[in-house]
């Protein structure tokens, strides 16, 4: 089977809600990443066969052929197509899968996969809110689904708490995990670990002063167990809080994927190889436990074991998710989310997949390591898992 190579992997620094990226139209955010990928690779932009953009809240500024609008807002010629996909939080990781599959099938040679989410300008749940306001049907779950699973709706907060309860995690343990996420992210930022992956963006602050957004805005370097433990519980009888959950975030990310023939023809320098890919689905009620079977499947497909993987990126949607993943798979915690995760760095929904890819590949390169595995929980009880080899 033909290989799929990653030539460039970039992301914006995460922006807090109503923060430094609030003034950026989502299509322009995505375009900035496309331009950075092209500039870093040295590729003729007209050679790109397709652009696949993940986005969850496809409404308002993030609708009307949004992937195509990202292309039109960029320096790419209008001969380059664009499309938008939604696999909830895994949207841009699935975009990467589709791009790699297109290249590995021999149907395309150069595809950009990425994601965008401005959670400031297009708040989570906007489509349902607008449907309610318009007096039209707003429940995506018909009676047939409700009856099948015995629930009125599917709720990620309930799922995350179910996982915490099933694995016996205490609030103190999850607060500790959250604190360590901030500590690792702050240390990585101070050391310049994210510099090579971040696309700097201009912004203007509330006083009208210009600045450059090149550091993740959600990191709280002064967090303590005392400050985290003071945060209100998400549920009356639960153990999770906003402090042990991912942060609302604005951002964009992307990877440029090329075939071996394209690498040779265009003089490109790959930084990683796509080793194997998997997507699995399971219980939509608990919903967020699926990264465990997805990891097992992608490892089996690749003929690798947990011991073969140098670094893991497991999205920190809630602290209970990577904690359960690590416990179920007996993972080495020192190789998990080594530069922090979404609790500190933010979770820009549709952009998080390729955001994690960029962070994982650059972290592997910095350590002279070989294999990285990335996985994340997704709405509906789905999970993508990917293995990369740094070159």
Contact criterion met (CB below 8 Å) for 167 and 323: yes
Annotated catalytic residue 249: no
Active-site residue among 182, 213, 249, 377? 377
Active-site residue among 89, 97, 249, 362? 89
Active-site residue among 97, 182, 347, 362? 347
Tokens of 23: 């003034």
Residue 175: CB atoms within 10 A of its CB come to 24
Annotated catalytic residue 182: no
For the chain, strand residue ranges (E) read 4-11, 50-54, 83-85, 110-118, 201-204, 210-213, 250-259, 272-281, 311-314, 371-378, 382-390
Closest CA to 391 of 232, 263, 265, 213: 263
Closest CA to 88 of 374, 388, 353, 375: 353
Alpha carbon separation from 166 to 118, 241, 382 (Å, rounded): 33, 17, 19
Annotated catalytic residue 347: yes
Dihedral Cα 374, 215, 157, 140, nearest 10 deg: -80
Which residues are known catalytic residues?
A: 89, 347, 377
């Amino acid at each position: 089977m033909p290989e799929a190579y990653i030539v460039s992997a970039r992301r914006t620094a995460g922006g807090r809600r109503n923060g430094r990226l609030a003034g950026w139209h989502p299509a322009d955010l995505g375009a900035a990443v496309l331009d950075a990928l092209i500039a870093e690779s040295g590729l003729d932009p007209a050679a790109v066969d397709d652009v696949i953009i993940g986005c969850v809240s496809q409404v308002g500024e993030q609708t009307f052929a949004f992937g195509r609008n990202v292309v039109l807002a960029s320096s790419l010629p209008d001969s380059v197509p664009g499309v938008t996909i939604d696999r909830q939080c895994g949207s841009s990781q699935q975009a990467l899968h589709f791009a790699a599959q297109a290249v590995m099938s021999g149907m395309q040679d150069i595809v950009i996969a990425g994601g965008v989410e401005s959670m400031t300008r297009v708040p989570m749940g906007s489509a349902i809110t607008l449907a309610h306001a318009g007096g039209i049907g707003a429940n995506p779950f018909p009676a047939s689904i409700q009856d099948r699973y015995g629930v009125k709706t599917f709720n990620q907060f309930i799922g995350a708490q179910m996982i915490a309860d099933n694995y016996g995690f205490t609030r103190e343990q999850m607060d500790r995990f959250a604190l360590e996420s901030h500590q690792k992210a702050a240390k990585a930022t101070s050391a310049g670990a994210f510099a090579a992956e971040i696309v700097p963006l201009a912004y203007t602050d509330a006083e009208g002063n210009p600045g450059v957004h090149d550091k993740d805005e959600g990191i709280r370097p002064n967090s303590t167990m005392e400050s985290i433990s003071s945060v209100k519980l998400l549920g009356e009888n639960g153990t999770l809080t906003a402090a042990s959950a991912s942060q609302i975030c604005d951002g964009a990310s992307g990877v440029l994927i090329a075939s071996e023939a394209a690498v040779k023809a265009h003089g490109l320098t790959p930084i990683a190889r796509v080793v194997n890919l998997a997507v699995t689905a399971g219980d939509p009620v608990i919903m967020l436990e699926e990264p465990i079977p997805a990891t097992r499947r992608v490892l089996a497909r690749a003929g690798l074991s947990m011991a073969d993987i140098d670094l893991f990126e497991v999205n920190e949607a809630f602290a209970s998710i990577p904690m359960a993943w690590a416990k179920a798979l007996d993972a080495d915690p020192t190789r998990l989310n080594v530069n922090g995760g979404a609790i500190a760095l933010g979770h820009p929904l549709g952009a998080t997949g390729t955001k994690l890819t960029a962070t994982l590949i650059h972290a592997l390169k910095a350590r002279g390591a070989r294999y990285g595995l990335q996985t994340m929980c997704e709405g509906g009880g789905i999970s993508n898992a990917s293995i990369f080899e740094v070159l």
